[in-house]
Amino acid sequence: MSIRPLNANQLKLIAMASMSVDHLISVLYPHYPTDWWIILLHIVGRLAAPIFWFFIAEGYNYTHNRRGYAFRLFFFAIVGHFAYNFAFGIPFLPFQTSVFNQTSVIWSLFWGLIALVINDRPNLKQWQKTLLILGITALSFCSDWSCIAVLAILSIGENRGNFKKQMTGMMLWVFAYAAVYALFIHPVYGVIQLFVALSIPLLKAYNGERGNWKGMKYLFYWYYPLHLIVCGIIRIALYGNIGVMIGG
């Protein structure tokens, strides 16, 4: 048996299943309930984001067409914006209700990729890179997982080849996110964010292989908006056109 038995496709399927559970529970049981079993299901949902962050950094390293990769993320960030906001009852025009959760996590994934590109540009001085990445954090602050997703992707990409540093950097940024979440949104749900640490053993089991099926990346891009549209239909059927989380 392989010491590292999970390939990229398998990890992405785990992330998609985890994400689906988290989003579905958010629309079935809105407004941050603290029943133990709902908390447990949201903890399961914390597996998704770090897996997606990790594979943005991996995709950046492996892709032969970074421009095409960036365009694909940007396109689905636009599609994902409308699907995400419909799912949770958030106005399509941002900042009408909050500065938090105004668009989907794909917006941050896109900017995380751009941050990796900037960080690797040899013609840019360090102060220029820092200034540009600070600008990116401002642009991505309003998305799901906020600019923390960008900074986690950057940390994972910078430390490629050193798993301990990758995960340490990621968790430091998650601690910052959890603190902000606890202070400004909900204390219990702030603590829940720290359970992204449960993804670390799964990522450690990654064997560096993509898997046999080449269509996984396209499955994720289309599955993401489609499952959110289903969540939005469920939300309206149960509660009408109201927001069910911060941002709505």
Task: List the beta bridge partners of residue 206.
Answer: 6
Average the pLDDT over 23-43 and give the result.
97
Distance CA 43, CA 40 (A): 5
Residue predicted with more confidence, 17 or 247: 17
In a domain, 246, yes or no: no
- pLDDT per residue as tens digits for the range 183-237: 999 999 999 999 999 999 999 999 999 998 888 878 999 999 999 999 999 999 9
DSSP 87-104: HHT--SSTTSS-SSS-B-
pTM value > 0.85: yes
Q: What is the mean pLDDT of the chain?
A: 95
Q: What angle do CA 243, 177, 107 make, to 5 degrees?
A: 60
DSSP-based three-state secondary structure for 143: strand
pLDDT value at 2 more than 80: no
DSSP-based three-state secondary structure for 165: helix
- Are 63 and 69 in contact by the 8 Å Cβ rule? The answer is yes
Residue of 187, 108, 101 lying closest to 140 (CA atoms): 108
Average the pLDDT over 83-89 and give the result.
97
- Give the pLDDT of residue 248: 64
- Residue 103 corresponds to which tokens in the numbers above? 């668009």
In a domain, 228, yes or no: yes
In a domain, 248, yes or no: no
In a domain, 12, yes or no: yes
* Residue partners of 220: CB distance under 8 A and separation at least 6: 12, 16
In eight-state DSSP terms, residue 30 is: -
- Give the pLDDT of residue 214: 82
- Give the pLDDT of residue 160: 95
In a domain, 1, yes or no: no
- Give the pLDDT of residue 1: 46
Average the pLDDT over 53-69 and give the result.
95
- Give the pLDDT of residue 216: 84
Residue range(s) defining the domain that contains residue 101: 8-239
Average the pLDDT over 57-74 and give the result.
95
Distance CA 159, CA 58 (A): 11
Q: What is the percent of the chain with per-residue pLDDT over 90, rounded to a whole number?
A: 92
Banded model confidence at residue 4, pLDDT cuts 50, 70, 90:
confident
Distance CA 14, CA 10 (A): 6
Number of C-alpha atoms within 13 angstroms, CB side, residue 198? 16
Please give the helix or strand (H or E) that residue 14 lies within, else none: helix 8-28
Q: What is the percent of the chain with per-residue pLDDT over 70, rounded to a whole number?
A: 99
In a domain, 235, yes or no: yes
Which segments within 2-157 are labelled E, that is strand?
none
- Give the pLDDT of residue 103: 97
- Give the pLDDT of residue 177: 97
* Residue partners of 206: CB distance under 8 A and separation at least 6: 4, 6, 7, 8, 11, 54
- pLDDT per residue as tens digits for the range 117-164: 999 999 999 999 999 999 999 999 999 999 999 999 999 999 999 999
Average the pLDDT over 110-116 and give the result.
98
- Give the pLDDT of residue 217: 78
- Give the pLDDT of residue 246: 85
Domains: count for the chain:
1
In a domain, 153, yes or no: yes
